[in-house]
Structure 1
Amino acid sequence: MRILIYFMMVVSVLAGACSKDKGNYDYTKINKISIDNMLLGDHNSQRIYRVVNGDPLNFTPVITGTVSGSDTTNLRFAWVIEKDTIARTKELHTIANMGFGKLVGYYFVKDLTTNTVYTYNFTLEISNAASRGTYILAEDADHNAILYMHSALSVNNLFRPYSAFNDKAIGKYPVDLGLKINYGNSSTNYTYTVMTAARESDANVMEVFVNEMKPILFYNKSSFIEPSASFNITQYVRLVSATHNYILVDGKAHLMNKGAIGSVLYPGDPQNYDFGAQGLFTSRSLYSRLLAGWDYRNNKVRILMTANQAASDSYITSAEGPLDQSILAGYTFIKGFETSINGGFCYVFLMKKGDKLASFLITLNGYQSVNSLTKIAEATVPDLDKMIMPYFNFSNNFWYFAIGRSVYRTTVMGMELQKVFTLPEDQSGDIAAFAFNEGGTVSMENIGVCTYDPNSSKAMKGSFYLFNTVSNSFTETHLNVIQKPVAIQMGF
């Protein structure tokens, strides 16, 4: 970038005085300094340098004068962070250890020939190593939960393990992991909060602001608005950019918000729905109005609806009545998502029968009612019984799933399986969990993959790979760095 500071010379003429132009002028050129090779922008919010605490901090500005050129003999420099001068050199090479959070920075260049000071303002955001990166929820041999954080910002490749935050343990028997994006004053200024869920814990669900490694909300049995005998949480559902958290406890759906857990959603259901352990569909836009899930008690899809389709989460009826669900007979439910196809809301879900994988579609009339249920396609999939929980990519409406050491995909409107990749033959075990990176500025470009080999002789039997879908290549491989993976989330 080029930053020039211009000065306006104001000439005062005394009242009653006059002078005759004698044609004597000084044409000496004034040396004006430009500061290049720094971030563009007219405001500090556009000049944010993000760095991890303890990592190297390097600035290499290019200084040019209109008269002096690249000669800096008559220039003096100063780097100031907040109120502390940390260097008096043209370039800055130091360690980012000035604290956490957003710090105001200044780069001063003084021209001794004119006594002019040029200033470049910027924001230095020093964060925890994993304020952006990969988050893996795992368990050790005794089922103690461990959250691994692998930074997308740090120059090192550590997988930092955390079993507690502020002396509050994540717990035992980890269930699921959520991720929430927190935007600042621009689309490039954001942080993440991770949510851990465990069946046995004083904080069954914990929200942690990873930028500063601080727990900010806890949920447990005492968080229920109505008394509950247990907190047998089996599923946690939240989209990165959504505002709602839904959980399944003993097959019933609950809304979590601001430290409280609401009553059973649709408590008056005459069919007494049971969404089982993982039967809740993931909502993208229809949350608070419609809530779908696979009812294991009644062997069908249920679509809970609020009064007058209001965004209230007060479900008083179900909308699936007109659907002919006889086409689902004999199938086993796998996973369901809400999405949009050709501009219309719909639910898509996968089911299996033997070695057959089938895709189904429920179309909706906005928020008002259901339209139809159809089977889109079906295909024979070898080793289907080894499939791990599939992932639905909203950006391209493709299903992704893993079998063994390979990841496959198929469009939501068909069942033509395409192999995305197969992991290298490095004896790291089969895929146990995978996910795309969501949120931020490079959403859905990378797939994080966790594997697990129970027969490994290594202390850490889990490994991690990062696959870039743009270059179609693995960009990271880390063998035997984690315990048994349960869930993964990524936010870059």
Structure 2
Amino acid sequence: MNLKSLIYILCLFIPLVEGCSTDLGNYDYKDINAIAITGLLENTHPTGRIYEIPFHDTLRLNPTVTGSLSGSDTSLLTFEWKVDAVTVSNTKNLFYVANKRYGKISAEFRVTDKSTGTKTSYSCFLNIVNPYKWGYYVLTQNRAKEASLYCLSSIAKKNSFDKVLLSNLNNLGKNPLSISGTKKYGASSSDFFNVLTIAVEDAVNPVVVIDSREFVPTLLYNSSSYVGGGNFVFRPTQVQADLFHEVIYAVNEGKFHVLRKGTIALPAFINDPSDYKVAPNGIATPLGNARFFMSIYDENNKRVRVWDNGITSNEYNYVNDYEGIAGEELMNGKTFIACSYANIPSINQIYLFSQDRQLYSYRLDYGADYKPIAFSQLGTAVAPTSSRIGYVYFDGRTSRWYLAAGKTIYMASYLGLALQKYVQLPSDAIGDIVKFKILDGKVMIATNDTANGKQGSIYIYNANTMVLEQAHKHVVDEIVDVHLGILVE
């Protein structure tokens, strides 16, 4: 290309550039009024925005809506709340009564800018639950010995114990025995419900297993649940749910039975020539290994019995009853108090006895072949008070003994039984401690005042600080047992 041609092309290009530069501002640009929704649960995904609402309770949400141009002026905005795909409100605030159904329900809040038609939305879930899904549970009896269940919900806002009625059951029966439970978890530590086991001595269904999500019985055990047929009458005197397996242990006519999947198994060692009888507090289930091993205190023969199933796949069918275990004589002449599983390396079971005012703790050791070798003494101590020792509880999570006497709970390590005060009720507490449980960072203590119409009182302490957090005086009938099933704080 020659110089003359190049100059000609440049002359054509320069006016075009000048024309583009002078065209700035010929187009109309508008800023968008970006809507921000705050004041609600925040998470990167709607599945992390879940509002727990007790059935029949009310959810009130008051979001803050601002525009990048309009600020807090909402005069040009419209609002819509949808729950389960149905419009329930056309205002900014939501007032929703959860009375349709249980479970997780989708919800959406939509804001529309009328001036531009721009829509902004926020999605979440409403988890409609039974108010008694989590809470403090109390099993009681009135003066006619009729059983009732009460719950202080840790979900609902109401701070009182409510009587809980069970679907498909007219009543629980008479002479209640115990309430125990385990947790069933979903996708996270906060996604759980309680599986409760309620035992009543005289009832159509003496053992009832309940799903706390809707408080419906999932398993009913009665005389017809027995696999052996005949004239079997199920009238248990002790019932204990396994903490690790979906199994329940029951004592009926003094004999040990395993309950699972709706059936009551034959009694262990039904033809025992010494006619054993399980003592109160006399079931020690090894930590997670009860399908292979079991130990009970035999009230008739005044000795610890040790059983196993031969370490076979035939779970809970105990075939070996060990006699002559070394160290059995250590317990001679002493009064049995309680036994338990032990969450202690190399120790499967632990036992507590007394003689005069002296307390004695024993352990059972097993060999490499999983057969019992010997009993040995762990510790001994003088009883902390001359008052009668009431409820005794071994907490496998902390490996400590807890004893109630009067209005005080004493604590001791399993190693030495060096008893010290754990908690003492306020001076205005009426009645002695009848039951207590330590779980989920709380201590739940029950007392009964026989002179009062509503005899039962509940005291709830923080287990870490030992600060009294709640006192409910004379709120329920005579208390038989308690259980905690709350979210760990």
Output the CA distance in 2 between the equivalents of 1:311 and 1:84.
Answer: 54
What CA deviation, in whole Å up to 9, does each residue of 1:131-159 have, x standing for no partner?
Answer: 11111111111111111122111111232
What is the CA-CA distance between 1:45 and the residue it aligns to? 4.4
Residues 484/85 of structure 1: CA separation in 2 closer, same or farther (3 Å cut): same
What CA deviation, in whole Å up to 9, does each residue of 1:102-131 have, x standing for no partner?
Answer: 322222233445533333332212223211
Residues 349/118 of structure 1: CA separation in 2 closer, same or farther (3 Å cut): farther
Output the CA distance in 1 between the equivalents of 2:374 and 2:41.
Answer: 53
Output the CA distance in 2 between the equivalents of 1:181 and 1:374.
Answer: 34
Output the CA distance in 1 between the equivalents of 2:416 and 2:216.
Answer: 44
What CA deviation, in whole Å up to 9, does each residue of 1:266-288 have, x standing for no partner?
Answer: 44556543213431124431121
Residue of 460, 482, 486 corresponding to 1:488? 482
Residues 163/88 of structure 1: CA separation in 2 closer, same or farther (3 Å cut): closer
Asked if the contact 1:336–1:347 (Cα under 8 Å) also holds between the matched residues in 2, the reply is yes
Q: Which of these two proteins has the greater Rg computed from alpha carbons?
A: 2
Matching residue of 2:263: 260
Residues 48/319 of structure 1: CA separation in 2 closer, same or farther (3 Å cut): farther
Residues 436/45 of structure 1: CA separation in 2 closer, same or farther (3 Å cut): farther
Residues 352/189 of structure 1: CA separation in 2 closer, same or farther (3 Å cut): same
Output the CA distance in 2 between the equivalents of 1:399 and 1:378.
Answer: 12
Matching residue of 1:327: 330
1:479 aligns with 2:473: yes
Matching residue of 1:313: 316
Residues 429/318 of structure 1: CA separation in 2 closer, same or farther (3 Å cut): same
Equivalence map 1:286-297=2 (5 Å): 286-297=289-300
Residues 163/70 of structure 1: CA separation in 2 closer, same or farther (3 Å cut): closer
Equivalence map 1:389-404=2 (5 Å): 389-404=391-406
Asked if the contact 1:434–1:488 (Cα under 8 Å) also holds between the matched residues in 2, the reply is yes
Residues 385/72 of structure 1: CA separation in 2 closer, same or farther (3 Å cut): same
Matching residue of 1:234: 237
Matching residue of 2:450: 454
Equivalence map 1:175-190=2 (5 Å): 175-190=177-192
What is the CA-CA distance between 1:58 and the residue it aligns to? 2.3
Helix, strand or coil: the match of 1:222? helix
Residues 418/29 of structure 1: CA separation in 2 closer, same or farther (3 Å cut): farther
Worse-matched range after superposition: 241-250 or 42-51: 42-51
In the alignment, residue 285 of structure 1 is paired with which amino acid?
Answer: G
Helix, strand or coil: the match of 2:283? coil
Output the CA distance in 2 between the equivalents of 1:162 and 1:412.
Answer: 37
User: How many pairs align?
Assistant: 464
What is the CA-CA distance between 1:249 and the residue it aligns to? 0.9
Asked if the contact 2:139–2:148 (Cα under 8 Å) also holds between the matched residues in 1, the reply is yes
Helix, strand or coil: the match of 2:99? coil
Matching residue of 1:96: 98
In the alignment, residue 281 of structure 1 is paired with which amino acid?
Answer: A
Residue of 459, 466, 472 corresponding to 2:460? 466
In the alignment, residue 327 of structure 1 is paired with which amino acid?
Answer: L
Output the CA distance in 2 between the equivalents of 1:166 and 1:97.
Answer: 20
Residue of 376, 379, 393 corresponding to 1:377? 379
Residues 118/359 of structure 1: CA separation in 2 closer, same or farther (3 Å cut): farther
1:303 aligns with 2:306: yes
- Identity of counterpart residues, as a percentage? 27
Worse-matched range after superposition: 81-90 or 245-254: 81-90
Helix, strand or coil: the match of 1:428? coil
What is the CA-CA distance between 1:79 and the residue it aligns to? 1.9
What CA deviation, in whole Å up to 9, does each residue of 1:145-174 have, x standing for no partner?
Answer: 111122111111232224764243211111
Output the CA distance in 1 between the equivalents of 2:37 and 2:362.
Answer: 59
Output the CA distance in 1 between the equivalents of 2:223 and 2:432.
Answer: 35
Worse-matched range after superposition: 105-114 or 292-301: 105-114
What CA deviation, in whole Å up to 9, does each residue of 1:43-89 have, x standing for no partner?
Answer: 55432211223333122334455555555444332222113222223
Matching residue of 2:7: none
Output the CA distance in 2 between the equivalents of 1:62 and 1:385.
Answer: 60
Matching residue of 1:440: none
Residue of 273, 278, 301 corresponding to 2:276? 273
Output the CA distance in 2 between the equivalents of 1:115 and 1:489.
Answer: 55
What CA deviation, in whole Å up to 9, does each residue of 1:329-380 have, x standing for no partner?
Answer: 1221122121232x43421221111211222222334782234422111111
Helix, strand or coil: the match of 2:189? coil
Helix, strand or coil: the match of 1:279? strand
Matching residue of 1:48: 50
Worse-matched range after superposition: 193-202 or 85-94: 85-94
Asked if the contact 1:428–1:480 (Cα under 8 Å) also holds between the matched residues in 2, the reply is no
Asked if the contact 1:451–1:463 (Cα under 8 Å) also holds between the matched residues in 2, the reply is yes
In the alignment, residue 292 of structure 1 is paired with which amino acid?
Answer: S
Worse-matched range after superposition: 42-51 or 410-419: 42-51
Helix, strand or coil: the match of 2:348? strand
Residues 400/382 of structure 1: CA separation in 2 closer, same or farther (3 Å cut): closer
Asked if the contact 1:301–1:320 (Cα under 8 Å) also holds between the matched residues in 2, the reply is no
Residues 401/91 of structure 1: CA separation in 2 closer, same or farther (3 Å cut): farther
Asked if the contact 1:180–1:242 (Cα under 8 Å) also holds between the matched residues in 2, the reply is no
